[in-house]
Chain A
Amino acid sequence: MKVSNILSKRNKVLLRELVITDFKLRYQDSVLGYAWSLLKPLFLFAIMYVVFVHFLRFGKGVPHFTSTLLLGIVLWTFFTETVAQGMQSIVGRGDLLRKINFPKYIIVVSASLSALINLVFNLVVVFIIMAVDGVHLGWHALLFPVTLLILYGCSLSLAFLLSALYVKYRDLAPIWEIVTQALFYVTPIIYPIQTVISYGGELAGKILMLNPLAVLFQNARAEVVGHENVVTAGQLSSNVIYLLIPYALMIIVAILAITYFRSRSSKFAEEI
């Protein structure tokens, strides 16, 4: 795999066809078709809203908690979808791999792009709801795409690592499900970080914010909903080393993922 080939014409065509196929197949044979891409998140948000905001009152006293909650859930869905679909993608396309030689990373990237398309639909819904919630976008919102890009890179590198491991170790599927479940609760998605700080102290909040996902989610929220309404890692500490730890983790995972994936990919066809 030469770097210059990464997006050669042929690979681009292939990637495009695989993504189109995935997308076409997703709502195949349903009456409402692509409308589900918008309707599904809308209904899921309605349920979340009723449960967390009305009954559990999680974000009591936190301004724009509805918008923060929904954005968090959307980003979380994107992360889990990218990683889970990416992990299964190589094995799932085993049939293809055994018949034709093409760069294996295309498969993982195509699976991640499907999740990315989903994210775009979800974000459309979120932004509509935010407008209703009375959120005004500031100049910080311009950084939001950058944060999304980092989140995408982080999810994709995990997808690469797990997809290559999954070829050899099928136990990874249930293990990853469990890990995902744990990650969900250590990441401030359904609860605001302020709640943790007020109950567990500032240290608990700081430890929680070492999690790269927590950092990215809080940054994304701050950029869209406003820094005055969301606590980011930067507000908890000004120690540069502390602030760089999550990014270092992401870079380590990315390097590990790329190295491992590249070393294994030529053997995928025989090992699946």
Chain B
Amino acid sequence: MGDVAVEVKNVSKSFRLPNEKNSSLKSAIVNFRHHKKGYTEQRVLRNVSFDIEKGDFFGIVGRNGSGKSTLLKIISEIYKPEKGVVNIHGSLTPFIELGVGFNPELTGRENVFLNGALLGFSRSEVEDIYDEIVEFAELGKFMDQKLKNYSSGMQVRLAFSVAIRARSDILVLDEVLAVGDEAFQRKCDNYFNSIKKDKSKTVILVTHSMDAVRRFCNKAVLIMDGEVVKSGSPDRVANAYSDIFIKEARQQESKESTNKDDYNWPVVVKKFNLVQNSEKSDTIAFKKDFSVEIDIHSSHQYNEVICAIDIVDAAGRVMLNTSTRENKEKLKIKDSAILKIDIENIFSEGEYYINFAMKDDETNELLFKQPEIKRFNIVGNQMSKSSLTHPHVKWSVE
């Protein structure tokens, strides 16, 4: 593998949050005399370690307040780690925000030079690329106007146009994707795709967008409560991130209705299995069809039962929604029955869960309902990530 661009070794960080406003002499003296600390210590990062190799497009994901922005600031050497070290091999430019140092009272032109200086350009270097910047930002007519007269979109365009000229080996980007209109987003995408291909550049991207992680990154880490809880392929990390929300939603649900789980449904589901190649398994091979077998039991007789299942992916997208109504079938249930659903496996690799419900069409009574009754994985080769679904396709030439 290539050289290491950024080494993060056992980095810990905590902030002192003042209990009350402490930035005055009096409170400092009072606290000192009473041996009071005057602050509470909050751990933001705990023993975070990872390596980023040269040429990587590295994603850092996590929820708000998980410590990822702090980590980014430590990598950018804006904050100092409390313990541990960050070694950086090469020049690094952080974009914690676009347009650092932009001053509304200066003209667009002056701001380009100021911003350029902050990004490490000399005056003559900015002069050389000035025309390109203006052209890319499409602001030719406005460069001698004050920045305060620009729309926010124009400001972002100008800032981005300067930013992408940065020739540092390592770029650190914080949520810059979250701004701008569609045309600007496309420009961002093009830019990211171009640096993704450029193996001399290393990019560290902090984002909430799992879509961006999947599309651009080749590696990622998930930070939760200041710790790395998952690292590796962007798909794994993105799935783990989605899982956090699923788990939380489930906890919320069970909190709201603890007794609902123990609800005595008229119909009991004894077994809920996935079967592939006549074997029960929660791991399904990619592109190989499988079936769902549900073992149900009812003491009462129902003549017109409708069953429905959903297959939902880790991002919460419903991949399949089907019911017995599709076949205009109504099932009769008494005592025990085994329900079997054959499914064509067109799903891509990843984690999925199944929701299941039954109802009596005569009385409209809900007989059974359980969201996320089953979780399963589809595992396959690299190719399976290329698209969301993989229906059978046949090419021919006539």
A and B: bona fide binding partners: yes
On whether the beta carbons of A13 and B96 are closer than 8 Å, the reply is no
Interface magnitude class on chain A: 20 to 34
Interface of A is mostly: helix
CA gap between A25 and B101 in the complex, in Å: 14
Among B79, B96, B113, contact of A270 (Cβ-Cβ < 8 Å): B79
Closest to B76 in A: A101
Answer yes or no: B133 CB below 8 A from chain A CBs.
no
Closest to B115 in A: A17
Answer yes or no: A57 CB below 8 A from chain B CBs.
no
CA gap between A270 and B39 in the complex, in Å: 14
Answer yes or no: B105 CB below 8 A from chain A CBs.
yes
CA gap between A21 and B120 in the complex, in Å: 16
| Interface hits, A9-54 → B, CB 8 Å | 9-10, 13-14, 16-18, 21, 24-25, 28
On whether the beta carbons of A100 and B121 are closer than 8 Å, the reply is no
Answer yes or no: B85 CB below 8 A from chain A CBs.
no
With a CB–CB cut-off of 8 A, which chain A residues contact B97?
99
Answer yes or no: A171 CB below 8 A from chain B CBs.
yes
Answer yes or no: B234 CB below 8 A from chain A CBs.
no
Interface magnitude class on chain B: 20 to 34
Nearest CB of A to B82, in Å: 11
Closest to A96 in B: B101
Nearest CB of A to B22, in Å: 9
CA gap between A170 and B27 in the complex, in Å: 12
On whether the beta carbons of B80 and A13 are closer than 8 Å, the reply is no
With a CB–CB cut-off of 8 A, which chain A residues contact B94?
99-101
**Centre residue among B79, B101, B106 by max chain A CB count within 10 A:** B101
Nearest CB of A to B362, in Å: 66
CA gap between A18 and B262 in the complex, in Å: 68
CA gap between A224 and B299 in the complex, in Å: 112
On whether the beta carbons of A13 and B123 are closer than 8 Å, the reply is yes
Among B23, B80, B106, contact of A21 (Cβ-Cβ < 8 Å): B106
Among B25, B73, B105, contact of A171 (Cβ-Cβ < 8 Å): B25
Closest to A169 in B: B25
On whether the beta carbons of A269 and B79 are closer than 8 Å, the reply is yes
With a CB–CB cut-off of 8 A, which chain A residues contact B123?
13, 16-17
- Chain A positions within 8 Å of B, measured between CB atoms, are 9-10, 13-14, 16-18, 21, 24-25, 28, 96-102, 168-172, 266-267, 269-270
Q: Please name 11 further chain A to chain B contacts, defined as beta carbons within 8 Å, in addition to the given A99-B97, A101-B94, A102-B118, sorted by A numbering.
A: A10-B120, A25-B106, A96-B101, A97-B78, A99-B94, A100-B78, A100-B94, A169-B24, A170-B24, A171-B25, A171-B26
Question: What are 5 contact pairs spanning A and B, CB under 8 A?
Answer: A21-B106, A25-B106, A99-B96, A169-B24, A169-B25
